[in-house]
Amino acid sequence: MKFKKIVCTGCSLLCDDIIIEENDNGRIEQIIGACVRGKERFKSIKSQNRILTPLIRENDDLKEAAWDEALKKTLQMIEDSSNPILYGFSTTSCEAQAEGIRLARAIDGFIDSNSTICQGITLEKSKETGVTMTTLTEIINKGDIILLWGFNPIESIPRLLNKILFSRGKFRMTGREIKTLIVIDPVETASYKIMGPRDIPLLIKPASDLELIQALKKICKEEMEIPSEGIAGIDKMDLERLVANLVDSENISILIGQGMLQPSDDGDPLKELLELIEILNTVNEKGRVSIIMGGGHFNMTGFDQTALSLTGKNHSLQFKDSTLIDTEDNIITKIEKNDFDLSIIVGTDPISHLPLEISKKLVTKPMILIDNKKNSTYYVADVVLPTAITGVETDGTAFRIDEVPIKLTKLYDPPNDLPSDEELLIKINNKIKEE
C-alpha cells in the first residue's frame, strides 16, 4: 500500500490535508479526510459521465470525432464568429485561465467567469468602500467571532467550519471554547445545528438584510438606540449581544454567501455591509473586522486574480482590436441582449446554472464546450472537447477561498492522453496565430 498527501479540488477550500491510500496497482483504496464533495471529485475519474473523445454535432446528434477534425471544426466556428463570448473557467487552473484570456484577446471576444455572478461582485463593490480581507490561518490563530451572513458552509463547503471554528491556533489555544459563531439568515440552515450556548443564531425576516445592516450602521455609530421591538425579526436582547460582539472583539470574520450579493429595489445589502465593516473598523478599539467571500467552485477566486494581474480588471473583459475596452456588460447581459454569435464554455454548465430565459437564448447560437464530464450544456453543444481533470490528472495553480494561492499536483495520467485545459487552449491559440 502507498499513501499520498494531496490537495483536494472538490471546492474552494482546497484542503491540503487529504490522504489517499493506493494499492500496488495504483488504484485508490481509501480517501482519508475528504468530505462528500472531495470524494466525488476523485470518483469523477471513473465516472460514467466522463467525456473521453471529442464530439461534433451532425444532424442534431453528437458524433465521436478525431482530434484533428474536432479542432478544425472549432477553428472554423471561431473564424466564422465576429462576436464570441467565453464563459466558465472556475474549475480549471490559473494557467488555463490565462490562456482563456489570451484567446479572448486574439479573437476580440468577451470573457467572464462564474465569479461575475458570485464573489467577484464583492471586489467590484469594494472599489467604492475598500475591503478588509483575511485568511483562514489568521481566523484559526486569532479569531474570536465568525459571522456567517447568508452563508451555509455546512452544505456548500463542508470542512470550512471544522478548520476555522474547531481548530486551535497559535493565539487561540482553546479553539472552539472561546470562539463565537453568529449566523444571520432568513432560513434555518444546517449551519444552525452546530451552534452552542455561547453562539448567536439570528433568524431574520426574509429580505430584511438591508434593514438590519442600515440599523447596525447607525447603532454602532451611536446615532440611534436599539428599538424595544427589535429589528428585522430579531429581538432587542439578541441585537444587544450582536452589537456588543461586533464592537468589542479582537478579530471578527464575516463570511458572506449568495444571499448578500444581489441589490434590491430599496438598496444594495452588499455595499451597505462593506460600509458597516468600515464603520466597525473605526469604532472597534480592540481589533478589526474582515470579510471572506463564500464562493464554491475551486478556482473561482483564481480567475479574478489572473484577470487582475493580466488586465487590471477582475472579470467581464471585452476585447476589440486585441485591446481591453470598457464595458458595462457581464455574461448575463451579453446573452440577454443576444450580443454574441458564438459561445465557448469552459468547465461549467450554464444551461443548468443560469436562469431559464438566459439558457434559452444561449442555445440559439453555436456553442463549443471544453469540459471533462457530461452535463446539460454537453447535450446542446455543437463541438465538445474533452480535457483532463485539474488537480487530479494535471497540475497547476488555484486560489483558495481566502485568496491564498495553492499549488496543485498531478496524481494520475488522464485516460486517452487527454490534454489539460491549459494545453488545449494553448493549441487553439497557436493555431489561430498561425492562420
Amino acid identity at 409: T
381-420: pLDDT as tens digits:
999 999 999 999 999 999 999 999 999 999 899 999 999 9
pLDDT band at residue 2, thresholds of 50, 70 and 90? confident
pLDDT band of residue 423 (cuts 50, 70, 90) is very high
What long-range pairs does 355-358 form, CB within 8 A, spacing at least 24? 358/332
**pLDDT over 90 at 261, yes or no:** no
pTM of the entire structure? 0.92
User: What are the pLDDT digits (tens) for 84-112?
Assistant: 999 999 999 999 999 999 999 999 999 99
Task: Find the mean pLDDT for residues 197-212.
Answer: 93
What's the pLDDT tens digit per position in 338-357? 999 999 999 999 999 999 99
Query: Is pLDDT of 281 > 70?
Result: yes
Hey, which residues does 129 pair with through a beta bridge? none
Closest CA to 278 of 329, 358, 217, 355: 217
Q: Is 79 a residue whose pLDDT tops 70? A: yes
Segment 302-307 mean pLDDT: 94
Average pLDDT over residues 361-376: 97
pLDDT at 127: 65
Residue 193: Cβ within 10 Å count: 9
pLDDT tens digit sequence for 237-255:
999 999 999 998 999 999 9
- Ranges of beta strands (E only) in 167-226 are 180-185, 200-203
CB 86 within 8 A of CB 104: yes
Sheet holding 367-371, edge to edge: 61-64, 55-58, 383-386, 367-371, 342-346, 84-88, 110-113, 317-320, 323-325
pLDDT recorded at residue 101:
98
The separation between CA 42 and the C-alpha centre of its own chain, rounded to angstroms, equals 19
The whole-number average pLDDT for the span 41-45 is 88
What is the chain's mean pLDDT, rounded? Answer: 92
Instruction: Work out the percent of the chain whose per-residue pLDDT is above 90.
Output: 73
SS (HEC) of 288-302: EEEEEECCCCCCHHH
- pLDDT bracket for residue 263 (50, 70, 90): low
**pLDDT attached to residue 307:** 95
Computed over its alpha carbons, how large is the radius of gyration of the chain? 23
